[in-house]
Amino acid sequence: MAKSSKDGSKKSSTNKSAAKAATGAGAKDTGRKGKTLRSQGWFGMGTRDGMVHRSWMKNQGLPQHLFDGRPVIGICNTWSEATPCNAHFREIAEYVKRGVYEMGGFPIEFPVMSLGEPVMRPTTMLFRNLVSIDVEESIRANPFDGVILLTGCDKTTPALMMGAASCDLPALVISGGPMLNGRWRDQTIGSGTHVWKFTEMLKTGEMTQADLLEAEVAMSRSKGHCMTMGTASTMASLVEALGMGLPTNAAIPASDSRRYVLAHMAGRRIVEMVKEDLRMSKVLTREAFENAIRVNGAIGGSTNAVVHLLALAGRIGVKLDLSDWDTLGKDIPCLVNLMPSGEYLMEDFFYAGGLPVVLRELAKNGKLHKNALTVNGKTMWDNVKDAKNWNEKVIFPFGKPFKPQGGIAVLTGNLAPTGAVLKPSAATPRLMKHKGRAVVFEDIDDYKARIDDPKLDVDADCVLVLKNCGPKGYPGFPEVGNFALPAKLLKKGVKDMIRISDARMSGTAYGTVVLHTSPEAAAGGPLALVKNGDVIELDVAKRKLVLHVSEEELAQRRKAWKPLPPHDTRGWVKLYVESVMQADKGVDQDFLVGSSGAPIPRESH
Contact indicator for 145, 31 with CB cutoff of 8 Å: yes
Q: From the CB of residue 595, how many other CB atoms can be counted at a distance below 10 Å?
A: 25
- Residue 180 within binding range of ligand FES, rule CB under 6 A: no
Smallest Cα–Cα separation from 291: which of 345, 237, 351?
Answer: 237
CB of 375 to ligand FES, least distance (A): 23
- In the complex, the smallest distance separating the C-beta of residue 302 from ligand FES, rounded to whole angstroms, is 10
Determine the 3-state secondary structure of 419 from DSSP. Answer: strand
Give whichever of 87 and 547 is closer to ligand FES, judged by the CB atom: 87
Q: Which is nearer to ligand FES, 177 or 424 (CB)?
A: 177
Residues 6 or more apart in contact with residue 215 via CB below 8 angstroms = 184, 189, 194, 198, 207
Judged by CB under 6 A, the number of residues near ligand FES is 10
Backbone torsions φ then ψ of 595, nearest 5 degrees = -135, 145
Minimum CB distance to ligand FES, residue 6 (Å) = 35
Q: Which of residues 28-87 bind ligand FES (CB under 6 A)?
A: 85
Backbone angles phi, psi at 373, to 5 degrees: -80, 145
End-to-end CA distance of the chain, in Å?
31
Residue 81 or 461: the one with the smaller Cβ distance to ligand FES is 81
Q: Tell whether residue 524 is a contact of ligand FES (CB under 6 A).
A: no
Residue 594 gets which letter from DSSP? Answer: S
> At 137, is the secondary structure helix, strand, or coil?
helix
CB of 352: closest distance to ligand FES in angstroms?
21
Phi/psi of residue 487, each to 5°?
-55, -35
When the beta carbons of 117 and 145 are compared against ligand FES, the nearer one is 117
Interface pick for ligand FES out of 191, 248, 512, 596 (rule CB under 6 A): 191
Q: Shortest Cβ distance from residue 556 to ligand FES (Å)?
A: 44
- Angstrom distance (rounded) from CA 430 to CA 541: 12
Q: Which is nearer to ligand FES, 47 or 234 (CB)?
A: 234
471-486 as b/e, with b when 16 or more CB fall inside 10 Å? bbbbbbbbbbbbbbbb
Cα 30 → chain centroid: 34
- Is position 237 an interface residue for ligand FES (rule: CB under 6 A)? no
Contact call for residues 84 and 225 (beta carbons, < 8 A):
no
The answer to whether 194 contacts ligand FES (rule: CB under 6 A) is no
Pairing of strands 463-466, 416-422: unpaired
> 236 vs 438, which CB is nearer to ligand FES?
236
309 is a site residue for ligand FES (CB under 6 A): no
Least spacing, CB of residue 186 vs ligand FES, in Å? 24
| 118 sits near ligand FES (criterion: CB under 6 A) | yes
Distance CA 446, CA 453 (A): 11
Nearer to ligand FES, 126 or 153 (CB): 153
Is residue 199 a contact partner of residue 59, using CB atoms and an 8 Å limit? no
Residues 208-227 that bind ligand FES (CB under 6 A): 225-226
Strands (E), 291-349: none
Q: How far is the CB of 255 from ligand FES (least distance, A)?
A: 15
Q: Are 91 and 259 in contact (CB under 8 A)?
A: no
Inter-residue contact 463 to 536 (CB < 8 Å) = yes
The single-letter DSSP state of residue 222 is: S
> Which lies closer to ligand FES via its Cβ, residue 230 or residue 511?
230
| Residue 597 Cβ vs ligand FES, minimum distance, rounded to whole Å | 31
Q: Between 118 and 417, name the residue whose CB sits nearer to ligand FES.
A: 118
CB 435 within 8 A of CB 443: no
Q: How far is the CB of 24 from ligand FES (least distance, A)?
A: 45
In sequence order, what are the residues at sequence separation of 6 or more whose Cβ sits closer than 8 angstroms to the Cβ of residue 282?
A: 373
Nearer to ligand FES, 269 or 504 (CB): 504
Nearer to ligand FES, 153 or 384 (CB): 153
For the beta carbon of residue 166, count every other beta carbon within 10 angstroms: 28
Q: How far is the CB of 535 from ligand FES (least distance, A)?
A: 37
Q: Which is nearer to ligand FES, 225 or 516 (CB)?
A: 225
Q: Which is nearer to ligand FES, 148 or 153 (CB)?
A: 153
Q: Shortest distance, CB of residue 120 to ligand FES, whole angstroms?
A: 10
Instruction: Out of 133, 150, 165, 232, point to the residue binding ligand FES (CB under 6 A).
Output: 232
For ligand FES, what does the binding mask look like between residues 137 and 176, x meaning CB under 6 A?
A: ----------------xx----------------------
DSSP string across 352-399: HT-HHHHHHHHHHTT-S-TT-B-TTSSBHHHHHTT---S-TTTB--TT
Closest to ligand FES by CB, 123 or 405: 123
542-601 positions binding ligand FES, by CB under 6 A: none
Task: Say how far apart CA 371 and CA 359 lie, in whole Å.
Answer: 12
Q: How far is the CB of 47 from ligand FES (least distance, A)?
A: 44
Candidate list 117, 134, 136, 479; residue touching ligand FES; CB under 6 A: 117
CB of 441 to ligand FES, least distance (A): 25
- Report the nearest approach of ligand FES to the CB of residue 249 (Å): 15
Check if the beta carbon of residue 26 is closer than 8 Å to that of residue 68: yes
Q: How far apart are CA 128 and CA 563, in angstroms?
A: 25
DSSP element (H, E) containing 156: helix 156-165
| Nearest-approach distance from CB 234 to ligand FES, in angstroms | 10
Give 152 or 170: the residue with its C-beta nearer to ligand FES: 152
Each residue 78-97 as x (binds ligand FES by CB under 6 A) or -, in order, gives: -------x------------
Between CA 262 and CA 273 the distance in angstroms is 16
Q: Kindly list the residues in this chain that would bind ligand FES in the complex (CB under 6 A).
A: 85, 117-118, 153-154, 191, 225-226, 230, 232
